[in-house]
Amino acid sequence: MTKKIALISGDGIGPEVTKQGMKVLEKLEEISDVDLEFEEFPFGAEHYLDTGELVTDEAKEELENFDAIYLGAVGDPRVKPGVLEHGILLDLRFSFDQYINLRPVKLLDSRFSPLKDKEPQDIDMMIVRENTEGLYAGVGGFLKEGTKDEVATQEMINTYKGVERVTRYAYEYAQKRNDEKKLTLCDKSNVLTYAHDLWQRVFEEVGANYKDVTMDHMLVDAITMKMVRNPEDFDTIVTCNMFGDIITDLGAEIQGGMGLAVSGNINPEGVSMFEPVHGSAPDIAGENIANPLAAILAAGMMVKELGWEEEGEKIETAVQRSLQNDYSTPDMGGNLNTDEVGDHICSILE
């Protein structure tokens, strides 16, 4: 059955990398049962500067009819930081209640990790990031703004419902992911004695239903240390929105860089959105040197989540092969441009 995909290529390198992802998806359609229909939406800096519009209510109503959203990245130096990020990216994550952010950290080829002596089997974990609450909820404000007595607050919102549903998803994930069946809760319960006390209680409570999953706990500062020193200790990690943001950039680097890191914003009953972890990279935009592999892998994750498990797997295998062949962009030591890497992935699929 045809699945409808909304394409939001966005800003900076966003359109450059999603173009390659689209090419790969079209090739996959040619060689398999995958059947997709695309419609492009213009949201991003250019559209905002032209019209003053971010994502309108009408557009959101329309997006409800899609099976998934494929996003490049948003953010532009001409627009105040936060406007596009909140008005487009976070608005979509929140409006479609994409409460899970799945971010795999997987080393595809040992040559690309900056960590010494680490092999693919050592760096292979799934980070399950809460995606609609925490410090991202947008609650806070200024008191005595602009004075020397100013106080700025940003509250961390943690609801039982929000913590329970992402924790349950993470247990389910850990149970199915591999034989290790281990779930680590990453928090800061020694300081955030309200917010992360709730996380600890829910972690225990939900865990009672998953007796075959080993429960583990680590403070976020210790996790950053351990992800570098002993990444092999991690299997599935569940964490709050802000910590998930930070530790997945670290995860991206240990698996070979931002050019390879993938992100799925999931609503198991609704419209999910797939994107690279990286941003619009204004420093390299327009040069045709951005690494398209994260966007291509995000397309693979989308195909898998839409039910074509094996076909999505094919994209991952093709990416792995192209890395082994050193067909990569300069950020990974290669000498191909963005288009050429996309073409190469298509030729491997062929």
Site string for ligand IPM, 238-267 (x = CB under 6 A): -------x----------------------
Tell me whether residue 33 is one of the annotated catalytic residues.
no
Q: Beta strand pairing status for 262-266 and 100-106? A: antiparallel
Tell me whether residue 136 is one of the annotated catalytic residues.
yes
> Any contact of residue 75 with ligand NAD (CB under 6 A)?
yes
> Any contact of residue 258 with ligand NAD (CB under 6 A)?
yes
Q: Please, which residue, 276 or 312, has the CB nearer to ligand IPM?
A: 276
Tell me whether residue 76 is one of the annotated catalytic residues.
no
> Any contact of residue 277 with ligand IPM (CB under 6 A)?
yes
Active-site option among 33, 35, 197, 221: 221
Round to whole Å and give the CA distance between 334 and 136: 37
> Any contact of residue 89 with ligand IPM (CB under 6 A)?
yes
Residue of closest CB approach to ligand NAD: 75
- Residue 260 identity (one-letter amino acid): L
Tell me whether residue 3 is one of the annotated catalytic residues.
no
User: CA neighbours within 13 Å on the CB side: how many for 195?
Assistant: 17
Tell me whether residue 249 is one of the annotated catalytic residues.
yes
First to last CA, the chain: 22
DSSP 34: -
98, 265, 280, 328: which one contacts ligand NAD (CB under 6 A)?
280
76, 245, 275, 311: which one contacts Mn ion (CB under 5 A)?
245
Active-site option among 4, 188, 216, 339: 188
Nearest to 59 by CA among 50, 49, 69: 69
* Helices 309-324, 14-31: crossing angle, 10 deg rounding: 120
Nearest to 28 by CA among 262, 297, 337: 297
Return the active site residues. Answer: 136, 188, 221, 245, 249
